[in-house]
Amino acid sequence: MLRQRPTSPARFIEGRTIDAVPEDERHGRPRDLFALWFAANISPLTLVSGTLAPVVFGLGLWPGIAAVLLGNLAGGFLMALHAAQGPRLGVPQLIQSRGQFGSHGALLVTVLVVFMYAGWFASNLVIAGQALHQVVPALSVPAWLVVCAAAGLVVATVGHDLIHRVGRWATVLALLLLALSAVRVLTAPDVLQRAAGNNDFSLTGFVGMAATGVLLQIAYAPYVSDYTRYMPSDTAGRRATLWCTYWGCVLGSALPMLLGVVMGLAVADDTISGLAAVLGSTLSAVVLFGFAAVVVHINSMNLYGTALCLVTAVQTFRHRWLPGRAIRALLVAAPLAAGLTMALAFQDSFLASYTDFLSVLQYVLIPWTAINLVDFYLVRRGTYDVASFFAPAGGVYGRFRTPALLVYAASFALQIPFMHTSAYTGPVAHALGGTDLAWAVGLTSAAAGYWAAARLGARRRPDGAPAAPAVTADPRSTP
């Protein structure tokens, strides 16, 4: 049995890390998830992501709007499907991934996600720092990066409940800022005229922008259930957690991205610098300050998730190790330096670096999310042995689950001919004029491959059970 550290609800700083949350400590409502994910997306970075439609992919107004909506609506559903895993099992997302890949096999995705967190942290810092420097040029961009990073560190150190609270406050602020910006843009005839005059379309650009929307949603998949694992399993049903997460994340991403499409078409300069020309100096300053404040919320989530990943990695080899508040606080602080270093290094070439970052993320995350969802919903149907997630040698799941690892590797390899980045273009992508379909190939091949492997394994077993052992366990139990 794992050693459990005592947790007092009266303590302000969260005491748990990756250990399963018992039912008597569960709290929260599914509707809280809307605010959490809505606020996580209303930021200057999401606004800039919308400008990729005209600036990088060469799309006009209506094609850009259609691509943004399609990508977010489709990707959001895949992302939100992970939300139900938290109340059901009470563990972080990547701990649950041990059920598909094994305790050591899951390390691959865990390490990749650590780099993902660092990339998101750096990307948000760069945009927030540049935005605040526009308002208060007396402080340099690097100085603002440090200020924003420190604020996110405080929230992440306190932990889960404060992140939810900040999300609720940030949602109110973000809605107000977004409404003010939208009203100003929509009532500025010169802005709309410049934007509406461009309806350029290319299939390559449309697919690329839609894929960006898909990826922005799926990028949250490795930590969706980190924020639902404290919810009561008897009140946080699958539908409620799914739809509250879905609409919070989709609306939070799509609305600022749509504004970004308009801004990208109407502003000759970069979006952050040109915001004052559209909104006016006073409103622009208010909006930039507000959006930068919202960045604190998502960056606290990035730091918090990184800490959970680091605990997961160490616990793989020291299965009785479950640190308390002090160690978690140190682990939250550890990745801040890496993210800050990345932000300082890439601040001058941000847009090109950000676009390639999104491409690499989709290649490694989409096969994982397909395997995870197929296993949870179709193969095991939510039934796992939670204690085995923490057991020596992976318990009933073992150290390595060969079917999932082979399917993941094969799906990644199948994507290579379809990839398109600044450093490499696969032969199929080249033949298609630069259209990147790797994400679709990775999603379908991983889902179909893992389902087929599970069915084949079930037929080989005399009792017809799935290839990976599914042990019935009370999801409310703690290891």
Q: Which residues have CB under 8 Å from 169's CB, separation 6+?
A: none
Average pLDDT over residues 153-159: 85
Q: What is the pLDDT of residue 8?
A: 44
The mean pLDDT value of the chain amounts to 81
pLDDT-based confidence at residue 408 (cuts at 50, 70, 90): very high
Q: What mean pLDDT comes out for the span 132-157?
A: 83
pLDDT value at residue 472: 38
Tokens of 443: 């999603």
- Which residues contact residue 182 at a Cβ distance below 8 angstroms, ignoring those fewer than 6 apart? 255, 259
Instruction: Place 368 in a pLDDT band, splitting at 50, 70 and 90.
Output: very high
Q: In whole angstroms, what separates CA 425 from the centre of its chain?
A: 25
Which of 48-52, 230-234, 275-279, 294-298 has the least mean pLDDT?
275-279
**Paired tokens of 238:** 């699958």
CA-angle at 84, arms to 82 and 42, nearest 5°: 60
CA distances from 264 to 261, 275, 421 (A): 5, 10, 21
Per residue in 54-91, is it b (16+ CB within 10 Å) or e — as a string? Answer: bbbbbbbbebbbbbbbbbbbbbbbbbbbbbbbbbbbbb
Rounded to 5 degrees, φ, ψ at 371 are -65, -45
pLDDT, one tens digit per residue, over 206-221 is: 988 998 888 888 888 8
**Model confidence band, residue 3 (pLDDT cutoffs 50, 70, 90):** very low
- pLDDT value for 413: 95
What is the predicted pLDDT for the residue at 240?
86
* pLDDT value at residue 10: 40
Is the model's pLDDT at 414 over the cut of 90? yes
Domains assigned to the chain? 26-367 (1.10.4160.10)
Residues 288-317 pLDDT 10s: 777 777 888 888 888 888 888 888 888 888
Across the range 359-375, mean pLDDT stands at 88
Instruction: Count the Cβ atoms, other than its own, within 10 Å of residue 143.
Output: 14
CA 457 to the chain's CA centroid? 32
Residues comprising the chain, all counted = 479
- Report residue 311 as tokens: 């605990």
Average pLDDT over residues 35-44: 84
pLDDT: which is higher, 149 or 98: 98
CB atoms within 10 A of CB 273: 13
Name the band, by pLDDT with cuts 50, 70 and 90, for residue 181.
Answer: confident
Q: Which two tokens stand for residue 448?
A: 């179909």
Q: How confident is the model at residue 282 (pLDDT cuts 50, 70, 90)?
A: confident
Residue 9's pLDDT band, with cuts at 50, 70 and 90, is very low
Helices 271-279 and 281-317, packing angle to 10 deg: 150
Q: Give pLDDT, residue 343.
A: 66
Evaluate the CA torsion angle 59, 60, 61, 62 in order and state its sign: negative
The per-residue DSSP string of 12-26 comes to SS---SSSPPPGGG-
Q: How confident is the model at residue 351 (pLDDT cuts 50, 70, 90)?
A: low
Break the chain down into helix, strand, coil percent, rounded to 5.
75, 0, 25
CB 204 within 8 A of CB 429: no
pLDDT for the residue numbered 270: 61
Per-position DSSP letters for 57-97, written without gaps between them: S---HHHHHHHHHHHHHHHHHHHHHGGGHHHHH-S-HHHHT
Under 8 Å between Cβ of 98 and 241: no
Mean predicted confidence (pLDDT) in 347-376? 78
Instruction: State mean pLDDT over 432-446.
Output: 87
The per-residue pLDDT for 353 is: 64
Whether the Cβ atoms of residue 219 and residue 293 lie closer than 8 Å to each other: no
pLDDT surpasses 60 at 443: yes
- Which residue has better confidence, 104 or 237? 104
The Cα 356–Cα 421 span in angstroms is 6
Contact between 266 and 195 under an 8 Å Cβ cutoff? The reply is: yes
Q: What is the pLDDT of residues 76-111, one digit of tens each?
A: 998 999 988 888 888 998 899 999 999 999 998 888
**471-478 mean pLDDT:** 38
pLDDT in tens, 457-469: 766 654 444 444 4
pLDDT at position 476 is: 36
Does the pTM surpass 0.75? The reply is yes
